[in-house]
Structure 1
Amino acid sequence: MNITLFREVGRPLTIAEADANIDDLDGRLSALETQGLEATGLQALVFDEVASTITVSLSDGTVFGPFKLPMSAFRPRGDWGAGIAYLVTDLVTTEGGSYVCTASHTACASFQDDLTGGRWMLSAARGPKGKDALDYIGVYIATAIYEPGDVVLVDPDSMQLWRALIRPPAGKGPGTFADDAAHTPYWTPQSYPVFDTEEINHSVRGAFGASSQVFRRWFARSGKFLPNLAGAVGYCDVAPTNAVAFNLTLGGAVPNATGTTIGQLRFAAGSRVAIFTMTANANLGIVPGGQSFVISPSVVDPTLSGLEFAIPYNVIGEAVG
């Protein structure tokens, strides 16, 4: 660099010295404009998902990092599954608890093997089984002790259920009150008397699963379906593209036991009305506590939806129900 400075000569610069300084700087700038600068640019950004870091590499070989990236505490992954690749802080649920991944890995066939191998840490364990809000005990017994939430059957003929509000002393059955200022009832009705039958209609307004219950009826008294299922009707909001058949079953007093097939309900392609047919020699007799079901086919027509069924029957000694 050939520039004359005041601090070096201790006097004002001559006109020739000042011009020389300007000429020197102008020459340097011209050279830069002609040759250009070799800029240093970004070459690569490298993310490490396992370590949760980022590394920056420049074109001149300079490397910055790795820098630790902020991250969420957990990454929910749903139910644990064998053969799935998991990363550190993945959160899974299995065996009633939740676990956090402590080492990236591909899951073994057994979760317990991975847990023993130190790849998971317990986050939340399954708690003890709590008492149901409603706990059906059975027929009311005057000498028994009941707890709040217990449900009892008082009159088997009417099938009325009562739920304990507070702990009643022995002998204080439904319809009795505590000896307090508010006369708090020990029991409250959980259902009302059924003098014929209680029917639960599952009106499936959207899609339904294969081989699933789309209708259920529970019977309180003895009875019998009408011969050849006379009077039975079935409708749908949207007709199926292809013909489909549902099974009508009848079972005994075993909860959710679908029983024996006694007939079929068939929707023709494009039809919204079902045709009922009875299985040959089917036993149409109904026992108290028995149930009937309409079961969807094993292959579901995706178009069919919005089901309604009504299947009349005779209560023994009474009119059609």
Structure 2
Amino acid sequence: MDDHESARIRAFLARVGLPGLVDVHTHFMPERVLRKVWAYFDAVGPLTRMEWPITYRHEEDERVALLRAFGVRAYTSMLYPHKPGMARWLNDWAAEFAARTPDCLRTATLFPETGVESYVREAVEGGARVFKAHLQVGAYDPNDERLDPVWGLLAEAAVPVVVHCGSGPAPGKHTGPEPVGRLLARHPALPLIVAHLGMPEYADFLALAERYEQVRLDTTMAFTDFGERFAPFPREARERLADLGDRILLGTDFPNIPYPYIHQLEALERLELGNEWLRAVCYGNGVRLFGLDDSGLGGSGHSL
């Protein structure tokens, strides 16, 4: 365990006045799936097109222990299918992982396929707190008619969906703001969390958040030295970040990041939007969204 980094993160928490962190974008998945993801990054896959060393290439129990040492009080197990027939199995694994990992918000996923409404309903009724949709890796249109009842179900249940819909680090057939804009026009109450702040189409996704009150954005990789190299955030949009301070959420992509966890936090701090903004982004907004408090995860019986 990296005691030095833990100390730096604890110093950040003390400096900002935070009791801990809520991270809406962390990855835990079946070990053989995660190993394939890491192999993809190692091979400089076509979606990344760049060297991408994995900083936290550890066994699962060590990764869980690291997040706790970092002061992360609640996090997710973002996982996603790239073909039909995977999502239900991934959801079963995620339910089991959350059951044995009290600080993890039970996470689920989906894919446009026969039976998707059934297994999404099962996941919601079983206690899923957040979904992941990856339009880039899954290469599907969020407006696929097979998903329409699913979006309605999730909107009615008020279960947020973290969606990778921006075109970074490489565009996909269905990435960008236009497909998500069409989706929200039909389901304006759908609680979407735009991953990576919509990188690189930051301004367009900020506009969607300004138009739809249930749209939020997570900070994953945004403002870091790594992210700024290929998708710099426009300086003129910083004021809009401040105005949307109640709907920006900390996300990091742990463990699949090519730099230390503390760098994401310090990258947010150097925006100079103030400690109140940082407290909301790194903790308060997640606490409110997921109904967390100092004694439990919103009725789940899990201790923070």
TM-score, normalized by the shorter chain, greater than 0.5: no
TM-score by length of 2: 0.19
TM-score by length of 1: 0.18
Task: State which structure, 1 or 2, has the greater radius of gyration over its C-alpha atoms.
Answer: 1
User: Greater strand percent: which structure?
Assistant: 1
